[in-house]
Amino acid sequence: MKAHDALYIDGAWRPAAGHDTIEVVNPADEQVVGRVPAGTVEDVDAAVRAARAALPAWAATPPAGRAALIGALRDVLVARKDEIAETVTAELGSPLPLSQAVHAGVPVMVAGSYAELAATYAFEEKVGNSTVHHEPVGVVGAITPWNYPLHQIVAKVAPALAAGCTVVLKPAEDTPLTAQLFAEAVAEAGIPAGVFNLVTGLGPVAGQALAEHAGVDLVSFTGSTAVGRKIGAIAGAAVKRVALELGGKSANVILPGADLARAVGVGVANVMTNSGQTCSAWTRMLVHTSRYEEAVELAAAAAAKYADRIGPVVNAKQQRRVLGYIEKGVAEGARLVAGGPEAPRAQGYYVAPTVFADVTPEMTVAQEEIFGPVLTIIRYEDEDDALRIANGTVYGLAGAVWAADDAEAVAFARSLDTGQVDINGGRFNPLAPFGGYKQSGVGRELGAHGLSEYLQTKSLQF
Ligand code: NAP
Ligand code: MG
């Protein structure tokens, strides 16, 4: 992997207007692995102009033509999957098998799904005496986080391109090398100049300039609720479309009849994977009082097995933040049964897989998104209590319900204020809409619902 000392604008790698750079650090060994330009307002402006210029021709390209190019992009992602996995490992620190299976593998699935959807989606429908055309919204400003660097990019760019939109991407400052690889893949796939543009840079500079740019019709943001609020305000003031994929504090609800060992095992894996840096992670495990101690023992044992298996968190700041939350949990009276607030290694930004028992719903560790390998286990007395606790945060992104059978789990899941629920260990579905209730966001990603975010309707009456 080689860092480009340039931005990808209008189909070419071009020097940035300024000279500032961003150092990319490997969080596993704290070594600098590359440097990329820190783009500025001028660079964002050049990229948005290129995207605008490319819009009419791309929007007019028949869906089958767009589908073929997204399919070609998918094929490049397949051909370069090892390089992608190594790059994600170098800048995010995730263990290589996780990078291969998830960080490189899932974007292939998602790009493939949009190659197919672009070819099959009903971009035109009849409603009574009207023909309704689903037209691209226009130029998309995409702002992405570092936790699933390529997935977050593909989950925006693939549907935007399928819809006929053009894109300017501002990726997270911690993981710009994966974004550069993606830009190389776009070029290799033969996607026309200006359809996709990349400006690496800092959030408050390049990200903010992109959200504010008058030439951007839709801002699609994934990241923290704090920044999402600002993006929403900027978009609202300019009356432009906005999609926000924000934080979560999801509940893993284990009803009394569930297979406890499986529910706890899958639940712990869900939280520890990617060192807890998953917005949809089930960081609150809710267990009936009759099986509480058994669940705590199972969870502590399961978490201990992750001690040598998880990677570091993304950077030193995130490590301090997560360790600070663990200290807060101890101070508020939660019982540590695995891990703790000491950094487990002298080098690298590691956090020990941590489990808190005797967590009450109002504790900070049960309310705020920690974004690290920290699981909280909360006791409930009956189903009403479980529901109150599960719905008792400002978030509503995901969750899980385990019960004696699917019907019982579904009945409970229907009362959850959340956008996605896994029933008795249901598998990830790249076509299912993903997104939040409440402060977890606005809009949906993935599948046909994700595609429709990038479309607007025009009705013709006859
Ligand atoms: P973040 O600070 O909100 O950053 C996300 C993106 O926004 C980055 O590209 C960032 O640039 C940019 N940004 C920061 N300040 C900005 C501003 N004032 N204007 C425009 N853009 C700005 O989030 P993070 O700390 O990197 O990521 C962790 C958070 O993201 C967690 O809260 C997590 O839940 C959330 N997340 C949610 C989802 C989801 O799908 N719902 C997925 C992943 C992560 P820099 O990199 O330069 O800061
Ligand atoms: Mg940030």
* Nearest ligand (C-alpha, residue 176): 1
Confidence of residue 269 (pLDDT cuts 50, 70, 90): very high
Ligand 1 pocket test, pick from 170, 227, 283, 397 with the greatest ligand atom count within 8 Å of Cβ, gives 227
Mean pLDDT estimate for the chain = 98
Quick check: 412 and 253 in contact, CB under 8 A? yes
| CA–CA dist 17, 35 (Å, integer) | 16
DSSP state of 53: H
Spacing, Cα 53 to ligand 2 middle (Å): 30
| CA–CA dist 456, 12 (Å, integer) | 30
**Among protein residues, the one whose CA lies closest to atom 42 of ligand 1:** 279
Position in ligand 1 atom list of the atom nearest CA 445: 40
CA distances (Å), origin 450, targets 149, 157, 387:
18, 11, 29
Spacing, Cα 203 to ligand 2 middle (Å): 7
CA distances (Å), origin 26, targets 33, 78, 175:
6, 24, 10
Spacing, Cα 278 to ligand 1 middle (Å): 12
The CATH architecture one would assign to domain 7-246+440-461 is: 3-Layer(aba) Sandwich (3.40)
Closest by CA to 3, choosing from 20, 22, 17, is 22
Provide mean pLDDT across the span 204-217: 98
Position in ligand 1 atom list of the atom nearest CA 228: 3
Q: Dig out the tokens for 181 from the structure.
A: 């690889």
Confidence of residue 196 (pLDDT cuts 50, 70, 90): very high
Provide mean pLDDT across the span 59-81: 98
pLDDT in tens, 340-377: 999 999 999 999 999 999 999 999 999 999 999 999 99
Determine which helix (DSSP H) or strand (DSSP E) holds 312, and give its type and residue range. none
Domain 251-429 class?
Answer: alpha beta
DSSP state of 59: H
Cα atoms found within 13 Å of the Cα of residue 163, Cβ hemisphere only = 29
Alpha helices in 332-418, H assignment, sequence order: 364-367, 383-390, 406-413
Residue 2: predicted pLDDT: 81
Quick check: 58 and 73 in contact, CB under 8 A? no
Position in ligand 1 atom list of the atom nearest CA 146: 26
Q: Dig out the tokens for 411 from the structure.
A: 């009945």
Confidence of residue 315 (pLDDT cuts 50, 70, 90): very high
* Nearest ligand (C-alpha, residue 151): 1
* pLDDT surpassing 80 at residue 1: no
Position in ligand 1 atom list of the atom nearest CA 170: 9
Ligand 1 pocket test, pick from 24, 44, 143 with the greatest ligand atom count within 8 Å of Cβ, gives 143
Instruction: Find the residues whose C-beta lies inside 6 A of ligand 1.
Output: 143-147, 170, 172-174, 202-204, 207-208, 211, 222-224, 227, 230-231, 245-248, 279, 369, 371, 397, 441
Residue 104: predicted pLDDT: 98
* Nearest ligand (C-alpha, residue 369): 1
Spacing, Cα 373 to ligand 2 middle (Å): 19
Confidence of residue 207 (pLDDT cuts 50, 70, 90): very high
Provide mean pLDDT across the span 235-256: 97
CA distances (Å), origin 30, targets 158, 230, 315, 349, 419:
33, 31, 9, 8, 37
Residue 45: predicted pLDDT: 98
Residue 168: predicted pLDDT: 99
Quick check: 119 and 444 in contact, CB under 8 A? no
Name, in order, each residue with C-beta under 8 angstroms of 106's C-beta and a sequence gap of 6 or more.
Answer: 148, 151, 428, 430
Quick check: 419 and 440 in contact, CB under 8 A? yes
pLDDT in tens, 381-425: 999 999 999 999 999 999 999 999 999 999 999 999 999 999 999
Give the catalytic positions in this structure: 245, 279
Closest by CA to 263, choosing from 146, 373, 363, 409, is 409
Quick check: 81 and 88 in contact, CB under 8 A? no
| CA–CA dist 98, 89 (Å, integer) | 9
| CA–CA dist 460, 131 (Å, integer) | 5
Residue 50: predicted pLDDT: 99
Domain-by-domain residue ranges, the chain?
7-246+440-461, 251-429
* Nearest ligand (C-alpha, residue 143): 1
Confidence of residue 434 (pLDDT cuts 50, 70, 90): very high
| CA–CA dist 303, 291 (Å, integer) | 18
* pLDDT surpassing 80 at residue 438: yes
One-letter amino acid of 229: R
| 254 phi and psi angles, rounded to 5 deg | -105, 105
DSSP state of 276: G
Four-CA torsion 123, 126, 129, 133, nearest 10 degrees: 0
Spacing, Cα 295 to ligand 1 middle (Å): 33
* pLDDT surpassing 80 at residue 263: yes
Q: How many Cβ atoms sit within 10 Å of the Cβ of residue 330? A: 14
Residue 12: predicted pLDDT: 98
3-state secondary structure of 146: coil
Q: Dig out the tokens for 28 from the structure.
A: 């596993």
Provide mean pLDDT across the span 230-256: 97
The pairing of strands 399-402 and 455-461 is: unpaired
**Among protein residues, the one whose CA lies closest to atom 12 of ligand 1:** 203
**Among protein residues, the one whose CA lies closest to atom 33 of ligand 1:** 247
3-state secondary structure of 383: helix
CA distances (Å), origin 229, targets 11, 221, 246, 273, 335:
32, 10, 9, 27, 34
